[in-house]
Structures are given as structure tokens and as C-alpha cells.
Amino acid sequence: MEKHARIFVPGGDTLIGAALRRRLAFQRFTGLVGTPPGEPDLCSAPEVDDFFRRARPEYVFLAAGKSGGIRANQLFPADLMLDNLLSECHVIDAAHRHGVKKLLYIASSCSYPKHCPQPMRVESLMTGPLEPTNDAYATAKIAGITLCQAYARQHGANFISGIPANAFGLEDDFSPEGGHVIPALLAKIHKAKVESLPSVPIWGTGAPRREFIFADDLADACLFVMQEYDDAATPINLGAGEDLSIRETAELIREVVGYTGELAFDSTKPDGMPLKSLDSSPLIRMGWRAQTSFAKALLLTYEAFQNELRKSTQEGIHVRAAV
Ligand code: GDP
């Protein structure tokens, strides 16, 4: 990928999209096109087609599609599924028709079956039922992977797919309803500290395990595979290699925030998948390593949350997590 190549990041203002744009700028890629607010409406086929005709992107990092934590998946499965299906269909088809050289579709570890041998290998995709709390979103993500494989098979398109671990980071959704576990807990535990609450509710038993990846490290992995990986028939896992229980995660977040109260696990709330850990050995064998320790990434994310809170307070807006 040449430094002046025309690069499009659909979903440029999502957690992963924003990190990708930051990483591309850091590595001195100068030809970004369609950056927010100039991104077309990805749910509109004519708008996407018109954009590709005018901007002629050569490389596409497809980070688009609404996503959310376990609660958002339970409340809005249709919204999440439809937004992902429409945006991936429109972008992948336009990328083919307008001669994009290479596309990376960023899928999700929810695509793996609920009871998948761990760590999860790409051979396990489509071998069992999905986790019911996110089956609609996961089906849309599997469709995206399969669509890339189909364009590769039928048209010889160089459209590859990456399956990331649970990403978190600076542009996260810190709302208790929408957010994934790390941003939601940073916000909840911060609120408990500020209000001197004796305890903070944590959903589920605390036993499920998750592999997390800092969004900026994930963006770095995406740039790496865009340049080094060409097997469109086989998705590649994008993980940093370690998993933690939700209890361990919540305890680390309590330390970062400096909260001394109790973590009250509420087992009436869903646990979701018991374990999600990726086998990222193909990526590691190719020479990629994450640069940011989990502790540092949590700290940077907490700082980003506090900045967002300060900004919202100055503007007279209450951040949902703080009210
Ligand atoms: P998942 O990885 O797709 O299951 O999505 P999440 O990141 O939303 O949730 C991961 C795990 O964290 C689940 O076991 C949740 O029950 C648990 N969890 C505990 N507290 C929270 C919370 O406040 N918000 C979210 N989203 N998850 C929580």
C-alpha cells in the first residue's frame, strides 16, 4: 500500500474506524478519502456507489456497522443486524465494481459458535449454534465474511476478513446500556467513586472470560494484514493473545479508577458467551505483536472517558453514564 494510495475507512467514526484513521495518519498515509463528515450514508446503495465513482478508493478498511455490548444486542438486534448487512453489502459490491485493489472486512469474535473449542480457530466458524444474546449481529458479521469469500471466488477480488478480539479504546461508547464491558465498567465504577457509593453492580457471574485488544493495537494489526496477508478464502484472527475473566477485568478497572467499594456481581443478568479467546497464532507467526500493555490501554481509555465527561460538562450536556 503506497503512502499516497487512496484509502477509504467506511465507519471512520466508530471505535475501530477512528483508531484506523489515527494509525494511517501516524504511518504517513496521506490519501484518505471519505473521512467523516464526508462519508457517504452506507445504508444507501446509490450514495455509496456515487462515492466510489467519484473518490475511486484503492484500499478499503471496512470498519462500519453498528455494534454494542450485550445489552444493546438484546435490545436492538434488528437495528444492529440491518445496519451491518446494508453497509457491508453496499461497500463490498461497490468496491468490486469500482476496482478496489484490496479490502479488509473487520468482522467480530461473536461470529464463532457459543460452545467453540478454545482458543477459537477459523476452522470452527459455522460449526455450531451462535450465542443467543448476539445471534442477529453475529449472523450479519458471518454474512460479511462469506460475501468477501464469494467475491474472491467468483471475481478473483482480493477481499480478506479479520476477526478481532473484543476491542476497547479512546472513542468507545461509555454508556451503561450501549457500551461493551470495559467502557461500561469504567463509567459505572467512576460514577460509584465520585458519588462515594458503597458498591457497584457488575452484570453476570464474573466467570466469563474475554480476550481484549486496545483499538489502536487492532488498527495496527489491520494495517499489517492489509499489507502482508492475501488469503481471501481464510479469515485471520486479530488478537493480542491473553484472556481475562470479567471479575479480573472489573478488579483491574477498579484499580485504574481508584475505587475502594465493593463489586456486586448480579447473576440475574446474562453472562453471554462463557469464553472468547482467539487463536491468533497465524498473525503472530507472521511477526505482528501488540504494542500496548492492558494496564496502559485501560489508563488511556479512562483518560479519554474523563476528557469526554469534562467536555460534555463544559458544554452543559450530561454524559449518560454520569446522570
Ligand atoms: P460480549 O463480549 O459480546 O458478551 O459483550 P460485552 O462486552 O457487552 O460483555 C462481556 C461480559 O461482561 C458479559 O459476561 C457481561 O455480562 C459482562 N458485564 C458485566 N458488567 C457489564 C456491564 O456493565 N456492561 C456490559 N456490556 N457487560 C458487562
Number of the ligand 1 atom closest to the C-alpha atom of 204: 16
For ligand 1, atom 15, name the residue with the nearest CA.
271
Distance 90 CA to ligand 1 centre (A): 30
Which pLDDT does position 320 carry in this prediction?
45
Catalytic residue among 137, 151, 259, 302: 137
Full-model pTM? 0.95
Identify the residues whose C-beta falls under 6 Å from ligand 1: 69-71, 110, 134, 166, 176, 179-181, 184-185, 188, 202-204, 208, 210, 246, 269-273
For ligand 1, atom 16, name the residue with the nearest CA.
271
Q: Residue 304 is placed in which grid cell?
A: 479519554
Distance 98 CA to ligand 1 centre (A): 39
Beta bridge partner(s), residue 314:
none
Which pLDDT does position 227 carry in this prediction?
97
Q: Is the distance from CB of 17 to CB of 63 less than 8 angstroms?
A: yes
- One digit per residue, pLDDT tens: the chain, 323 residues? 999 999 999 999 999 999 999 999 999 999 999 999 999 999 999 999 999 999 999 999 999 999 999 989 999 999 999 999 999 999 999 999 999 999 999 999 999 999 999 999 999 999 999 999 999 999 999 999 999 999 999 999 999 999 999 999 999 999 988 899 999 999 999 999 999 999 999 999 999 999 999 999 999 999 999 999 999 999 999 998 789 999 999 999 999 999 999 999 999 999 998 999 999 999 999 999 999 999 999 999 999 999 999 988 877 654 444 32
For ligand 1, atom 22, name the residue with the nearest CA.
181
For ligand 1, atom 27, name the residue with the nearest CA.
181
Distance 202 CA to ligand 1 centre (A): 9
Distance 196 CA to ligand 1 centre (A): 24
Phi-psi region of 231 (alpha: psi -120 to 50; beta: other; left: phi over 0): beta
According to CATH, what is the number of the domain 7-315?
3.40.50.720
Which pLDDT does position 323 carry in this prediction?
27
Is residue 229 part of the annotated active site? The answer reads no
For ligand 1, atom 12, name the residue with the nearest CA.
181
Distance 87 CA to ligand 1 centre (A): 25
